[in-house]
């Protein structure tokens, strides 16, 4: 009888179907000379959250959820097993200094971009404060940058009450001169979730704001399609910033700022798929998931699906 071992030390005992390629199997760590279609980086920082949050744990949780999905799209009848994802790892943040952590994230994202080994990028937060250093890095690399922000909140809070927080990234970018107001589109802004002062700030700065009422009457795919078409004529590249609290609490219970009346998971996925069709859309961050607040990784699994739509939408 031939000797055969069913032990594989150091590796999980998982079922493997020879005809199925899981998304996580397409992820390879960055090494000199490596090239791929998608660059992936984790920004595990949530100390700027105005409410208690362990969103710093989200990058590893979302990565783990990718093992639940195959690279085959039945809707497109197309396999994406040859799409290589280059993982640049997670930024090592400072244990106490917020300013130092923000600078480290900026440097690390810019370092990833300077490698020029990928055409598109996914950044996993972290709270929404990580978008400030990330978008700065993209702006420095590519020039004029347009942003579509999926969010229940404007995230243009003042900087006097607490400094830079997860509620200030877009005010920080605007007042730092890194973006222009007319190049920012906010989608999914929820009722009774913001202050009049910040509503007025968005209008004064030329930010395009689409509320849940607008989505209900016009449809989110049509709104996003128009936004991408308009931005593409004004900017060099487009960056998608997905705050998962834009989704209704029924579909995303793992967000620190959950609430009713948000997007369904299908609305989010369809709108991401629509935006990703345009060649100028080169990056997306996903933020505001606290795995400790989640149930059976519902929110992280949705985030993983958002990644699939960004990576595999037939571009």
Model pLDDT for residues 199-248, shown as the tens digit of each residue = 999 999 999 999 999 999 999 999 999 999 999 999 999 999 999 999 99
pLDDT tens readout for residues 79-128: 999 999 999 999 999 999 999 999 999 999 999 999 999 999 999 999 99
- CATH architecture label of 23-311: 3-Layer(aba) Sandwich (3.40)
- Is residue 305 over pLDDT 70? yes
Q: How confident is the model at residue 8 (pLDDT cuts 50, 70, 90)?
A: confident
Query: CA–CA separation, 193 vs 189, rounded Å?
Result: 8
- Is residue 151 over pLDDT 60? yes
So what's the pLDDT on residue 314?
Answer: 63
Q: How confident is the model at residue 6 (pLDDT cuts 50, 70, 90)?
A: confident
Q: How confident is the model at residue 40 (pLDDT cuts 50, 70, 90)?
A: very high
Phi and psi dihedrals of 193, rounded to 5?
A: -125, 0
So what's the pLDDT on residue 296?
Answer: 97
So what's the pLDDT on residue 32?
Answer: 86
Q: How confident is the model at residue 68 (pLDDT cuts 50, 70, 90)?
A: very high
What's 245's DSSP letter?
G
Query: Which positions make up the binding site?
Result: 128, 151, 153, 155, 243, 245
Query: Mean pLDDT of all residues in the chain?
Result: 96
So what's the pLDDT on residue 1?
Answer: 52
So what's the pLDDT on residue 279?
Answer: 96
So what's the pLDDT on residue 313?
Answer: 87
DSSP secondary structure string for all residues of 165-219: -TT-HHHHHHHTTSS-GGGEEEEEEPTTSS-HHHHHHHHHTT-EEEEHHHHHHH-
pLDDT tens readout for residues 262-274: 999 999 999 999 9
- Is residue 64 over pLDDT 90? yes
So what's the pLDDT on residue 315?
Answer: 57
Task: Identify the residue with better confidence: 42 or 7.
Answer: 42
So what's the pLDDT on residue 303?
Answer: 98
Average pLDDT over residues 129-147: 98
Q: Which region holds residue 178: left if phi is over 0, alpha if psi is between -120 and 50, else beta?
A: alpha
Query: Which positions make up the binding site for Mn(2+)?
Result: 128, 151, 153, 155, 243, 245
Between the two ends of the chain, the Cα-to-Cα distance in Å is 52
């Amino acid at each position: 009888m031939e000797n055969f071992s069913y032990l594989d030390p150091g590796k999980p005992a998982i079922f493997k179907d020879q005809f199925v390629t899981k998304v996580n199997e397409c992820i390879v760590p960055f090494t000199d000379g490596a090239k791929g279609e998608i660059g992936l980086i984790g920004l595990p920082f949530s100390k700027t959250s105005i409410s208690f949050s362990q969103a710093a744990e989200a990058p590893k949780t979302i990565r783990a959820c990718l093992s639940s999905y195959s690279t085959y799209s039945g809707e497109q009848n197309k396999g994406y097993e040859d799409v290589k994802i280059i993982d640049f790892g997670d930024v090592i943040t400072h244990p106490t200094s917020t300013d130092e952590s923000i600078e480290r994230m900026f440097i690390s994202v810019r370092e990833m971009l300077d490698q020029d080994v990928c055409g598109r990028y996914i950044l996993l937060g972290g709270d929404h404060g990580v978008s400030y250093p990330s978008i700065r890095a993209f702006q420095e690399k590519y020039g004029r940058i347009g942003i579509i922000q999926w969010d229940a909140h404007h995230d243009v809070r003042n900087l006097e009450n607490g400094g830079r927080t997860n509620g200030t990234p877009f005010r920080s970018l605007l007042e730092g001169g890194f973006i222009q107001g007319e190049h920012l589109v906010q989608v999914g802004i929820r009722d009774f979730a913001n202050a009049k002062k910040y509503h007025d700030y968005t209008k004064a700065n030329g930010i395009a704001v689409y509320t849940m009422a607008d989505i209900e009457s016009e449809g989110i795919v049509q709104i996003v399609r128009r936004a991408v078409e308009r931005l593409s004529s004004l900017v060099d590249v487009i960056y998608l910033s997905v705050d998962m609290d834009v989704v209704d609490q029924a579909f995303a219970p793992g967000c620190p700022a959950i609430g009713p009346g948000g997007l369904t998971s299908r609305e989010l996925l369809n709108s991401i798929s629509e935006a990703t069709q345009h060649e100028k859309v080169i990056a997306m961050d996903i933020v505001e998931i606290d795995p400790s607040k989640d149930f059976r990784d519902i929110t992280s699994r949705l985030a993983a699906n958002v990644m699939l739509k960004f990576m595999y939408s037939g571009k």
